[in-house]
Structures are given as structure tokens and as C-alpha cells.
Amino acid sequence: MDVNIRMLPEAVAIDRLDNKQQVLEQISGCFADTYGLDRTEVLEGLEQREALGSTGFGRGIAIPHCRSAHVRRPTLALLKLDQPVDFGAADAVPVSLFFGLVSPENAGATHLHALAAISRFARDEAMLQSLVDAPDGEAIFALLTNQFLRDAA
């Protein structure tokens, strides 16, 4: 299934942060800097979604997500932390890989398909280990784009 996720190489960051709020701020900044989205709007959207329950779904992975009228298709950013942080994940495991997702405002099914594609990707043990072992943003971007292109075929 081709969910047509947009991702640019500049949307991959490796950082050291101390808490959930800093993670959400960093992801919002990445969407602003890379895709020209409003940093405050994205941050508020991510915070509102997190208020409903953590997007940390386990195994050190979270998918903070929201919607915006300023994107035409699901748009992805990835943040990898040097040290995991508590993100309130369902399995209580601290999180070090964050797949930030901003989808179009009225993209119900498309948004769900994008979340499902990211979830499938993150459940692949070999791929997850490759992401953890990736030395830099360029290697992470290559892994992500190769996987999503393969899934779309």
C-alpha cells in the first residue's frame, strides 16, 4: 500500500534531550525548519494528541502525530536520541526513536494508513536494529526511504 509519505533528508535529527517536552519541541522545530510549517501550531497539535494518551507504543518507539491544513500528504520527521527518555509508553520502556507525523486535516484514512505503515516498519526487528545502529541522519534517511519504497511496490 502506497501511503505517499513525504520525507526530506533534513527531517532526520539525532540529538540528546532530557524529557518529553523537549522531544515535542524538537520535532516541531524540525517540521518548521524542514517543511515550513508553523512551529507553534505543530507543537500544540502534538501536545493535544499526547494529552489523550502517550504515542509511545513500545520497544523504545513513539509516533507523535497531529494534523494540519498546511500539508497535502502525510509528512514525516524522525528524531533519534542518544539516550532514551521517559515518554509514558505503554510498556514503560524509555523511548529513543520518534517518528513525527503531520497529516492533512481531513485525511482520516490516509492518516491511519500512514500510522500503520510506520508501525509496520518499526515492528521489523532487523530494521529497528538498523535504525538504532545507524551512524548518522543520512543512513537513517536511506533506511526509511528504502523501506517505504519497498512497501509501496
Residue 65 catalytic?
yes
The full DSSP string for 87-151 is: ---TT---EEEEEEEEEETT-HHHHHHHHHHHHHHHH-HHHHHHHHH--SHHHHHHHHHHHHHHH
> Angle between the 137-152 and 125-133 helix axes, to the nearest 10 degrees?
160
Q: Which of 65, 70, 111, 113 is catalytic?
A: 65
Q: Do you know the residue count of the chain?
A: 153
Chain centroid to Cα 131, Å, comes to 13
Chain centroid to Cα 95, Å, comes to 12
Active-site residue list: 65
